[in-house]
Structure 1
Amino acid sequence: KTLQGIENGTRIATVDEIIELKKKIKVENIKKEKYSKYERFLAHQGDGDVTIASIIIILLAGSLLKKKKLIKICKNAIVSVIASGILVNLIKYIVSRLRPDVNMLPYQFFSWASWFNGNESINPFHSSSASFPSGHAIVSVAVASSFYFGYKKKMIRSFAFILAVILSGSRIYGTRHWLSDIISAGFLGVLVAKTIYEINKKKINL
């Protein structure tokens, strides 16, 4: 049976259709709840503090195993996360693009004039309200790039970037970012990590 015409009110649903609709809504709610748990988990992995904590754990493991190169790369990754955080927040404040879960218009920006006139509903100084570029994506890519530039092994490089893609992609699927937010953040993440790597390249390769 088709459910066409019920949603726009052109006809009344039958008892069977109402039962079917309820089942459909229940399934959609379960799927949404499951995804929201996964998305929240992935979002936390891309947080700056969680990322740095994870890198510190790897760094400590490297110290115990006396892996000098791993220690140096972890230090580079931490610096890249900090530099990325500063850069991304600066751009967020300047651009102030609305997130897709707030407004589905990709070119909608904060009204600075309205905020200055006392409209507290949108605060451009809260980076959590701004979409461009993605903080999670820039951090994830910066860390992945730090390991990519530091190691030549394909397995390590592939794992680092697969993880970065998963974390970044979850932000689009969760309607927290536009695709352009992720792409631009990825570019900036690589740029930051590459800059840090070039500065410390001789130390890493000793």
Structure 2
Amino acid sequence: MLEALAVAGAVTTALKYAIGRARPFRDRGDGYLLPFRWDDAQWSLPSGHATVAGTIAGVTWARSRCWLLRSAATALVLVVGGARIYSDKHWTSDVLAGTTIGIATGYGLARSEESSHAWLLLPSPGGIRLCAAW
């Protein structure tokens, strides 16, 4: 989970900095871009809160078969995204982009850790050997 949050957070922060989209409360319209500025009012796209919620949901969906946990993770995404739009902090597209980044990163990294093979270094008489395990 922490690895997925770190990767998704890094991607989101880099995109916010590179895109520089104004937040809705600035009343400059959804097409106003001012990239490469360290200004939170210009860091609307993608939504960081939606990225975190999406990452949690992605990891939960990849790791759990419990419908209750999956439902809670889905509800988290909907509530967080809705709150960011309702509070005039993000455009709908900001939330969709952040959620997509989070779900893709969380689900992808969680599934990749479930790989069916691995490389192992094992001690052996006379040294160490490299083995593949399936």
Moved more, 130-139 or 95-104: 95-104
Q: Which runs of 5+ in 2 are unaligned?
A: 117-134
Aligned counterpart for 1:199 among listed residues 103, 107, 112: 112
1:104 Cα deviation from its structure 2 partner: 4.5
Looking at structure 1, the residues matched to 31 and 41 of structure 2 have their Cα atoms a distance apart, in angstroms, of: 18
Structure with bigger strand share is 2
Q: How does 1:1-206 map to 2 (within 5 A)?
A: 77-110=1-34, 124-127=37-40, 129-202=42-115
Contact residue 92 and residue 127 of structure 1 kept, 8 A: no
Superposed displacement of residue 194, structure 1: 2.1
Structure with greater helix share of residues? 1
**Aligned 8 A contact 1:131 1:176 in 2:** yes
RMSD between aligned residues: 1.8
CA distance in 2, matches of 1:202, 1:145: 17
**Could you tell me how far apart the structure 2 residues matched to 1:146 and 1:91 are?**
22
**Taking structure 1 as the reference length, what is the TM-score of the superposition?**
0.53
1:112-163 CA distances to partner (integer Å, 9 max, x unpaired)?
5xxxxxxxxxx71234531000000011110111011100111110011101
Q: For the residues of structure 2 that align with 1:145 and 1:195, how far apart are their CA atoms? A: 8
Helix, strand or coil at the partner of 2:29: coil
Q: Deviations over 1:166-193 (max 9, x none)?
A: 0121000000000000111111111111
Identity %: 23
Query: Deviations for 1:41-83, whole angstroms, at most 9, x for unmatched residues?
Result: xxxxxxxxxxxxxxxxxxxxxxxxxxxxxxxxxxxx2111111
* Higher relative contact order (Cα pairs below 8 Å, separated by 6+ residues): 2
Q: 3-state DSSP class of the match of 1:124?
A: coil
Kindly indicate whether the alpha-carbon contact (under 8 Å) linking 2:23 and 2:41 is maintained by their aligned counterparts in 1.
no
Q: Could you tell me which residue of structure 2 aligns to residue 27 of structure 1?
A: none
Aligned residue in 1 for 2:119? none
Gaps of 5+ in 1: 1-76, 113-122
- Normalising by the residue count of structure 2, what TM-score does the alignment of the two structures yield? 0.79
Task: Indicate the structure (1 or 2) with the bigger Cα radius of gyration.
Answer: 1
Runs of 4+ in 1 over 6 A off after TM superposition: none
